[in-house]
Structure 1
Amino acid sequence: MRTRWTPGTGLLITGIIVATRHWRLFGYERRRQHGPALLWWLIRRIHRHTRYATAGEFDRDDDAGAIRLRKRYADLPRLVADR
């Protein structure tokens, strides 16, 4: 989840990471420096199907305790792009 602080409204969710499996990125999605090539290759391989949805691409359903995508999963941009 990406967030930012806005005066008057507080914490605003600007996007979420969407995946079909639960994996960790170890912070490598946040930096331009990707670390050792072997580790970067492994992270890209594990997350090749992981997507990113901006705030306009999902809705919160508080009654159901769920987040619903407005787009198909396959139409969302990939989180980890090729180098």
Structure 2
Amino acid sequence: MNRFEDKVVIVTGAGSGIGAATARGFLREGAFVVNGRRKPKLHETIAGFEEVKSLVHPGDVSDVAYVKSLVKAGGEP
């Protein structure tokens, strides 16, 4: 079993750079929610992983209402 199997992890900025690398690491460990502002970039991050485990949730974390909705949804897109 992976360390984060069945856990929800929110990775902000998962569309590129350090955020994408971090998101892929969590995917390998069995958990997931990705967050970023650009849906196409988020889909690049999850390419090659099970889509059912990869919840793409685009939005801007500087928007308090968006963050509250993300946390409340528990990662559901």
Shorter-chain TM-score: which interval?
under 0.3
TM-score (ref. length: structure 1): 0.23
Query: Which is greater in Rg?
Result: 1
Bigger share in strand: 1
TM-score (ref. length: structure 2): 0.24
Bigger share in helix: 2
